[in-house]
Amino acid sequence: MRETSPLWKRALRSPVLFLATGFGAGLSPVAPGTAGSLMGWLTYDVLLRRLSLPLRGALIGVAFAAGIWACESGARELQVPDPPQLALDEVVAMWLVLCAVDGVFPQRTGWLTQTIAFGMFRLFDIVKHGPVGWVDHHVKGGFGIMLDDVVAAALAFVGLYAILKIASWA
């Protein structure tokens, strides 16, 4: 029998659902994906940035793998293929794009660059054109939930890379 208590109560009792909701960020009543992306930005700056770049990469890989399992479990529990409340994919994708910027442009990782990275990621994630849309429509389950955001993060990084290269020539 499916539990009918509010989702936030269920997420607080279930570590898997709490993880899948992006540490609760996806429970936001407004723009849960954006809340998850903000959680990713905050946790990256507060926690991950203190780690070496290789350790950050390893942690992101582990989080991606855990996200496949957690999002698959969360979607099954909520009985929806890709519920908007599952925001771990946004958290991990923000970690990825910010880590990539730190790795390639360590001298340009201030708030302005991070804000542009955030905006570009949200744009690609929301619009879902091109490869992001293809993954969203063709790859299902926890892997699909996680992968479309990783593709959006990769596109955001490519766009940001171009902006930063052009800005360095000016």
Provide the pLDDT for residue 1: 43
If pLDDT is split at 50, 70 and 90, which confidence band does 169 have? confident
Residue 34 exposed, middle or buried by CB count within 10 Å (0-12, 13-18, 19+): middle
Residue 47 predicted with pLDDT over 60: yes
In this predicted model, which residue has the larger pLDDT, 11 or 127?
A: 127
Tens-place pLDDT, residues 99-108: 999 999 998 8
Q: Is pTM, for the whole model, over 0.85?
A: yes
Nearest-angstrom CA–CA distance, 144 and 137: 9
- Which of 16, 13, 15, 33 shows the shortest CA–CA distance to 25? 33
Nearest-angstrom CA–CA distance, 103 and 36: 23
Residue 170 predicted with pLDDT over 60: no
Tens-place pLDDT, residues 18-42: 999 999 999 999 999 999 999 999 9
Residues in the chain: 170
